Structure 1
């Protein structure tokens, strides 16, 4: 057999090609992997999880569709095809895809500016938005641009979500009180108009809302295993039907059409695409950020890896195909995913079972939703978005990093007072501006030697660290680039002036400098020339290889001379005979301090914390 293979040289090539094609297919369609490796023992967990998640998803999806300004049936449409597509292309085994609150709010804000909520034009634009979100996510996934969501820092997202929670809750006041309010994403406007409309509230509606919220809270606290959203839907629907509360001002969902969503491509106009683009980009990024953070958290618990770019492609395809079947934008839901995982989901088959259950509801059970009160759906929304207000994270930022808490506050205030889309843009812009400001004014430290060691540390943080008379040792904790060269020049001058006596040597610890641009290189030439004219030695230690390459090419290394570059800070001190003789003997008898690592010109570097 082996001889036959050698006599057919094309066989190996063809087999290699087949292996490559199979690998490529698996990378695009992860379902091939889990289907071929599926075990019978996994079925029970997937079946229970799929049914449990469906029980939670059906009322939630209808509520979120109402939040998005769509008829509740469109929440169920968004819970069928997208789930099937994600199960085929997604890499997470437990992520429960479907409508979520924050994306529904973003849709209502963006599409609501172009059409009247609930109108045919509004519905068509919402579906077009799903296609646009899908196209953006798919393109970014193919181009491996999943890293873009890194610009959505945790403080920005926390502030955005907190403001979103308040806006969502305010948007449901009209359904909880049974009054007519003009649509607004401004919380203060909504509260003001609510006070002015207080005389028109519907007390039966308030009673249904209070009963719904009370039941949801009670079940969560004392009977968490009961599907509380479904229980509230069933109880309030029966209550309205038996007492005919719809005749006493309680708004109900009304007749819901039966049947699965049909294939239909929305009409596309250039002006609509341009108008929806900001909303589409915002939803695409926020939705992916939600999904990938949830998927990674569950994957860590379950012991497998998540590919961010594959997830981006899977969500893109889910929204693209979903948009062709009357769905609005979807992503992974935190609460649903937690329920799915805890119920025993082991593979994406659980999502397929969830989609099948929703499809059965669309085919046979939609008449049961006729007397479903909108106040109950509003109660489900309000209790669900409480989790978006992350008090623990706010406390954490207050203790750990006040500047990040300020970013959270800026994003929160901008989202709450200006607009939802601009709020997150302002938050991202503020975080980038803060980062740039930080790099233009980097942290610098005067170093001294810890007695009995070869370690050199910040004299402010280590009172025992000893400086050397006439020698200024400085560490700069940032890259050198055009934005901070002037600051660094002035800082070096100021540090020199602060010395108790004139210096004859300046040693720069470059362990924290990762790169050097042309402006910084020119500045270093100027600094070297100025110190040389004043007969002050300039020495660099711990220079990383990429930085040294620039210094070599620009001639800076030659300008510094053979004694201007050292592998370690201690080498620079001892080789230059800068330590007193007794101190040199003391240091030479010691080993390098814990945490210290002499670095060659290989790109390695030591951490800057506590130094």
Structure 2
């Protein structure tokens, strides 16, 4: 598909392909991959047309913005991204975050609102590219999986609730669950029952299609591919049926709100806003959208890549997603990321390379040029039904039960994230979830697990004296430190040792087993020095065993080993043989 320039040798192309992956997969592109990619593109395009319109509605933008955000970004990701199946474009959670962020700086329906959306995409893209260039993908790890699961669950509830106004045909507003529900109840007198019939029917039909159409078609003898295509085309069928109903019966004159005129054109060239006030107001939301979108995108990409024994480069993914968002900013879109449902559809449909995304973009461009007049009478209720059916699959309240059974700390993080997102809004919810995760991590590591161990009889293995029947020496205390030592937990170890050796027993030696210690920072070094001096004054020796090479290298650069009131042993068994005297058996408690 791509022919390398005669001025580029293989070594140079290989180097460039690390940053422009299309140069890698493009060289081996063949007719078989082309066929598979085009089939996948047809299926994904059919699904994306109504989905893109619906997510633009969710973001508070004109429907064409959803299609625009699905063309240039897909092409740019295909050039710079590393996943062969990830499908980039508007997604529900990012659309909700977009509406929440730009709703605070501009009024929906105004030119300023659209400019704010472009600016948000620009800031998000720039932040992602910078993270990729400086290899900062690890920062996304500050969003733990329980927090992400809680946030997505709460977002799914908020998104579905926000669409009830379109199903009911009422004018409602709000960014939190109480605000939305209160506004809906306050406007119940405005209910348009024709809209309700259209919306409820479309919702029920889409739920049935998602769960039952594919097995029904297979029972009737349809091939797996045909059944899959027809199932993915379910939203299109709902769009066609309800649009014809509105047009045929003139329902738009009876209060049914419709999409209306959609520009019949390719994505326009646009410019984001660069005013300092606008950039400052959107910077933090852009960072949150970038991190959340990256986490969602990478998790999907890694899952799909593992199924074909492929790999992705997270740092290059940052650049690919950043380029996609920058493309959206200059072509009339809004922030995008890799979507779960469309990526799975792309993968299941047989996409071989990112070229499937390019063909999808071409299909959407054709739709933008030729099909937009056909959605003039499309009711907003149908788009709302599409969103509700899509996002309710994201709601997983079972995460509360699972985390409660496994870890109270993780449960607290999930519950707080869900509650704060629903009650205070998506930005406060996810920021609080991150803060709670970091605080819980600091709390856990501030009290590291330290086990006093003894020798398992007849072996050279040491185990916790409270869990196993082991041999011990009353004059020897062996402590296995199961955490790296740093400023948060350094004093904890000091206090623990002080309490253990002043407990009225004749301890003559203390051995710290460092087999699980990967790092000792300067604060921890000072604590070790304090422990050493205190034990020395008490006539007790301090020894180390099983110290890892990098930790030993760091300790050798200080005076700690020179002042150590004891020895450093290669293994804990060596320390036992050298220091143990009066051995007594100890049963597990």
Question: With structure 2 as the length reference, what TM-score do the two structures score?
Answer: 0.92
Q: Does 1:197 align with 2:154?
A: no
Partners of 2:171 and 2:9 in 1: how far apart?
Answer: 63
Match of 1:22 in 2: 13
| CA distance 1:86–1:525, shift in 2 (3 Å) | closer
Match of 1:530 in 2: 534
Partners of 2:584 and 2:280 in 1: how far apart?
Answer: 74
How far the C-alpha of 1:497 sits from its partner, in A, is 4.8
Match of 1:512 in 2: 516
C-alpha distance after superposition, 1:273-313 (max 9, x if no partner): 11111111111111111111111111101221101111111
Q: Does 1:575 align with 2:578?
A: yes
Please show how residues 160-179 of structure 1 align to structure 2 within 5 Å. Answer: 160-179=151-170
Most deviating of 228-237 and 103-112: 228-237
Match of 1:274 in 2: 280
- Report SS of the residue matched to 2:477: strand
Partners of 2:534 and 2:76 in 1: how far apart?
Answer: 66
How far the C-alpha of 1:120 sits from its partner, in A, is 1.4
Partners of 1:226 and 1:415 in 2: how far apart?
Answer: 31
Match of 2:466 in 1: 460
The RMSD of aligned alpha carbons is 2.0
Q: Does 1:347 align with 2:353?
A: yes
Instruction: Answer yes or no: is the 8 Å Cα contact 1:506–1:536 preserved in 2.
Output: yes
Instruction: Answer yes or no: is the 8 Å Cα contact 1:278–1:421 preserved in 2.
Output: no
| CA distance 1:538–1:17, shift in 2 (3 Å) | farther
Match of 1:560 in 2: 564
Partners of 2:522 and 2:296 in 1: how far apart?
Answer: 40
How far the C-alpha of 1:558 sits from its partner, in A, is 2.6
Q: Does 1:52 align with 2:32?
A: no
- Report SS of the residue matched to 2:471: coil
Partners of 2:479 and 2:300 in 1: how far apart?
Answer: 43
How far the C-alpha of 1:106 sits from its partner, in A, is 0.7
How far the C-alpha of 1:524 sits from its partner, in A, is 2.1
Q: Does 1:118 align with 2:123?
A: no
How far the C-alpha of 1:103 sits from its partner, in A, is 0.6
- Report SS of the residue matched to 1:554: coil
How far the C-alpha of 1:196 sits from its partner, in A, is 2.2
Q: Does 1:39 align with 2:30?
A: yes
Most deviating of 525-534 and 92-101: 525-534
Which of 165, 185, 188 is the matching residue for 2:178? 188
C-alpha distance after superposition, 1:550-569 (max 9, x if no partner): 433333223335x5211111
C-alpha distance after superposition, 1:401-458 (max 9, x if no partner): 2211211111112222223112211111111111112222111111121111111111
Match of 1:291 in 2: 297
Most deviating of 510-519 and 87-96: 510-519
Instruction: Answer yes or no: is the 8 Å Cα contact 1:49–1:343 preserved in 2.
Output: yes
| Gap regions ≥5 residues in structure 1 | 1-14, 584-611
Partners of 1:313 and 1:175 in 2: how far apart?
Answer: 37
Question: With structure 1 as the length reference, what TM-score do the two structures score?
Answer: 0.89
- Report SS of the residue matched to 2:52: helix
Partners of 1:151 and 1:359 in 2: how far apart?
Answer: 38
Instruction: Answer yes or no: is the 8 Å Cα contact 2:490–2:524 preserved in 1.
Output: yes
Partners of 2:18 and 2:42 in 1: how far apart?
Answer: 28
| CA distance 1:327–1:470, shift in 2 (3 Å) | same
Partners of 1:299 and 1:188 in 2: how far apart?
Answer: 40
Match of 1:219 in 2: 209
| Gap regions ≥5 residues in structure 2 | 1-5, 215-230
Instruction: Answer yes or no: is the 8 Å Cα contact 2:259–2:380 preserved in 1.
Output: yes
C-alpha distance after superposition, 1:224-282 (max 9, x if no partner): 33522111111111121122221222111011121112223234211111111111111
- Report SS of the residue matched to 1:388: coil
Partners of 2:463 and 2:157 in 1: how far apart?
Answer: 48
How far the C-alpha of 1:92 sits from its partner, in A, is 1.0
| CA distance 1:579–1:73, shift in 2 (3 Å) | same
| CA distance 1:541–1:294, shift in 2 (3 Å) | same
Match of 1:107 in 2: 98
How far the C-alpha of 1:381 sits from its partner, in A, is 0.6
Which of 434, 437, 453 is the matching residue for 2:440? 434
| CA distance 1:17–1:253, shift in 2 (3 Å) | closer
Match of 1:378 in 2: 384
Which of 492, 497, 506 is the matching residue for 2:497? 492
Which of 506, 509, 512 is the matching residue for 1:502? 506
